[in-house]
Structure formats: structure tokens, C-alpha cells
A and B are shown apart, each in its own frame.
Chain A
């Protein structure tokens, strides 16, 4: 690898012990990738040093030494414990496992809350911004076009690359924690312009308008292209933030899509030629009514019983307009006694929703707004849940696998209707 003098100083330890351990891990990682150099980054999003009771007990930590211990041994994969210094680059903390206010609703144990709050306090003291969300771009971290980032969270990564035109690979916990201490990440993959071109073309031949439409199209795209880069053409009205969010999250779950192009819409695809770099697509796919129906059926293949115990919204974390929509659908009504409604969002959005009285509308209807996490991340569902209804293709992909429950996928209004009646009535588009 070609290292700069600054990087060499980090590696030989003269920049500090923690930077050395971080650089050692980054070099192992870069060599595994086959990268030849690093890029500088000043925007890192991860889950630095966060821990659960499992990691705490595994490393036989104490409340005093836990942060440095776990950051060293787990995050940096070091065999030696180092003191984590204050960050020199911008780093933010993505979602966690426990809502500090709604932890009892989530059924979290007091020791899990304590571990979460202790690690949060320690992270904050290092200068890490505590956003606690999978949607940092909705909570104060919006990268600029062309900016080199090092982000975790597949739904945020695909948004960062495709919608904002910033540059990041799907980083992991260990690489982001190391990048926070060094401001470096391997110059590989989507950091390089030649790797951001589309490989597959998907011709969309069915009206794609609603959030659900975009979720279905994203889920299809992920299955169709796997880890590659699709460019989409055809009947696409320019999506808004929520549609982008659901499309990308779905494509990054059914496949490994980290970047996509919408011709005439997204920043690196003013034209089809620009998206493809004047190359021919390796494959041209057709997405019409039949493909949409098949994708819907696939997402609903796990749903059997129409009596629903649990409606979960807010994956990825709800935007303000989604909370407004939920409130409009709920206003003055009460959800079924047989059903629970949990809406997940970021602390930032919830504070606005609180001030607007929106949280109260949901509470008055019998639902609850939670922050920091989601059912899949925290593995928390209402006790006794057998069947869930979801408006997120991503959550419908993961939650049944993680929790061993049935799940239905549909629109937000299908889900609210289910919360009000306790029954699934969603229909295939």
C-alpha cells in the first residue's frame, strides 16, 4: 500500500496508540480489499464503542473501563487496550438498541438501558455526535456532493451515494470506528468515479408513484442486480425524500445495492449515457405490472393469518411528513385492543413531532412513538406477537427472519387500517 507520511506516522505509533491500532486494522482491511491507498474523510457514521450486556460481559468490563476496552478489542480488533482520544474528524452515532424514554415499552432490561446510556455518555465525551438514527441525513448530517464519507447502515449508504452524490462504501462497525480516529478509509469501490457507473438497466414500465410502489421497485431491483449498480429508466416521477428512502432501503436488503441512478433525476445520471459511462449495460431488465405483482407476493409470502397483533412503522426512521400522514389517518380514532402500533423515528424528528403535538395524536389513538432503534435492531416486538403488518420492504425482509413471526407488507394506510381493525386487508397493486 502507498501510505502518506501522516498515515505512516499513525501506523508506527508516533501519532498515538489508538491511531496506531486503528491504522493497523485499516491496513489489514485495505489489503483484504486490494486497495492501494486511503482517501481522507471528515464524515464518518457508525456505532463506535456501543455495547450490549453481551459484549460487556464477554470482555469482563467494568462501568469505568468498558468504553475503551470494547472500542479497542472489538471495534479496532486490537489485542491491546488503548485509550480512545477525542475525535479529530466529524463522527456520528447511528441507531442503537434502546430508546432511553420508551425502553420499558420495548421490554428492554435495565442493564441493557444502562449499557446503552453508559456507552452513549462515553461516546459523547469523545465528541461523537449522538444522532441515534438510521437516517442521519434527516437528523443533521447531510453530506455534500462528492464528499468522501465512511458510513455504515446500508439504507443510509445508498441514499448518500445515489441521492446526494457523496461517496461511501458500505462500511462496517470496525472500519468506521477506525476511520473516526484516523480520518482515513480505503480508496476502493464507490470512492472512485469509474466504479460508480451503472452495470444494469432496468426499464420501468408500470406507474411508480406511491411510497409502496417505490418500496416494491427497490426490492425488485435488489433481487435483479444483487450487489451491482442499476440505472432506472421509464415511468418514474421524481421521487421525494421518503420514496428515495424506501426504495434504497429495499434494494439494499433484497440485494446489496449501494448505488443506483434514475435517469434525469439523480445527480450522476443527467442522461442514460452519463449513468452508464457510454458502456452497454450487462443486462437490461423489464419491470412491469407482472414483476411488481410478483415482488409484492414475495414480500407477503410469509403472511398467513389475517389477524394482526402488531403494526410497525418507521423503517427507515420516519420522516416528519410520514408522522403527519399517520396522524391524519389516526385522528380521532382508536386502534384495536388486539393490536399495537409502534412508530420509530429519530430523536431529532421526534422533538419536532412533540412540539407539533403529533406524538400526542398517536398516543391518544393508542399508539406510541419510539426513537433510537426499531424492532429488527432491538429484537423487540410486543409480547405475544404472531403477525405483524409493515409498510417497509426492508423491515418485511428482516423482521420475520429475526423474530420468527409472520409479516404482511403494504402501504402506510393499509397498515393504519390494520391497526384500527386488527385485521390485514392489504391488496396487491
Chain B
């Protein structure tokens, strides 16, 4: 049975959604950084290049680049390629407006850094109205496994 981790933060856009997490530690460009037709990151040298956020819970530090950010993510809504929810750290006008017009649940200012806790593939439920993020880990985290190994070799 996987453990449930709960984070608390602030509503940016209300609503409830859940899905598989897609996590990046790099900020995302909207216009010129994603292809709205496929929901794919296209920025050269971006760690998510070639990956689609369609139907994922997108977890990122924030937004960067062109002022076409909201327009591009607005188009993902029209084209059916938007993420299901958005979790981010750094508030900017780009990501605030983008989240509003994407009309997906969005939260920020979480009590723990979501980038340190959520990994790609985890199942994440965002209740933005209450500012709650629930995470079910897809796999056991690396650190507990290492701890077990240490315990085995430690004489009683």
C-alpha cells in the first residue's frame, strides 16, 4: 500500500482534478516553448523536450519567456491538450493568467517544496478550492530503500 503525502497551499484557480504527475525542475516557456497542438514541450535543452503534459498534473517551478504564455496555454485548452492541474512555486503574471484561462485547478505556496516531493509518475490529486495536494508515490523513494540496506548490514 503506497503512502499518502498531503501538502497545503493557496488556491490560484479553483476546482478539483487528479492524474499522473509530470514534474520538471525547469521553468517553462509558453509561446515558443510548447506546441499547443500536442501539448509538448519544444524548447531546446529543456529537460521535458518532446514530452507532453496533456492530461497530466504539471508540476514546475513556474513560467518564463514570452508574454504569449497565457495565449499558448489558452490554446491547449481549446485543442484538448491542457494539463489536468497545475502545481508551481514561483508566482508570475504569466502563470497566473495562463492558469486562469486554462481553467484548470492550480495551487502554489505549498508548505513543502512540491518539486522535492512529487516525482513524474506519482498519482496526484489537487483540491485547489481547499488548497490541498495529495500524492501517492508511484515507487518507493530511493532514500527509504537505502535505509533498509543500511539496517540489514548493521549488527544488532
Contact = CB atoms under 8 A, between A and B. Distances in A.
B98 interface: yes
Nearest to B67: A152
Contacts of B10: 34
Contacts of B42: 401-402
A86 B76 CA distance: 30
Contacts of A33: 91, 93, 96
A253 B67 contact: no
A175 B70 contact: yes
B44 A401 contact: yes
Contacts of B94: 170, 172, 256
Given A58-B78, A302-B44, A376-B32, A154 B93 contact: no
Contacts, number: 102
B67 A154 contact: yes
A252 interface: yes
Contact-size category for A: 35 or more
Contact of A253 (B27, B62, B65, B74): B65
Contacts of A173: 67-68, 70-71, 74
A364 interface: no
Q: Which of A153, A157, A170 has the most CB of B within 10 A?
A: A170
Contacts of A376: 32
A172 B78 contact: no
Interface in A144-190: 151-154, 157, 169-175, 186, 188-189
Interface residues of B, number: 35
B32 A154 contact: no
A29 B91 CA distance: 12
B6 interface: no
B99 interface: yes
A34 B33 CA distance: 26
B66 interface: yes
A103 B10 CA distance: 47
B16 interface: no
A257 to B, nearest CB: 9
A256 B101 contact: no
A227 interface: yes
B27 A189 contact: no
B93 A171 contact: yes
Interface string A250-267: 001101100000000000
B64 A256 contact: yes
Interface in B41-78: 42-45, 62-71, 74, 78
Given A172-B71, A227-B27, A227-B92, A29 B100 contact: yes
Contacts of A169: 93
A63 interface: no
A81 B71 CA distance: 19
B67 A170 contact: yes
B68 A398 contact: no
Given A154-B65, A172-B69, A256-B65, A34 B32 contact: no
Nearest to A33: B96
Given A32-B106, A376-B32, A172 B68 contact: yes
Interface of A: 25, 28-29, 32-34, 58, 74, 77, 151-154, 157, 169-175, 186, 188-189, 226-227, 252-253, 255-256, 301-302, 376, 397-398, 400-402
Interface of B: 10, 12-13, 27, 32-33, 42-45, 62-71, 74, 78, 90-94, 96-101, 103, 106
12 contacts: A29-B96, A34-B91, A152-B67, A152-B68, A154-B67, A169-B93, A175-B93, A226-B64, A227-B27, A252-B66, A256-B94, A401-B32
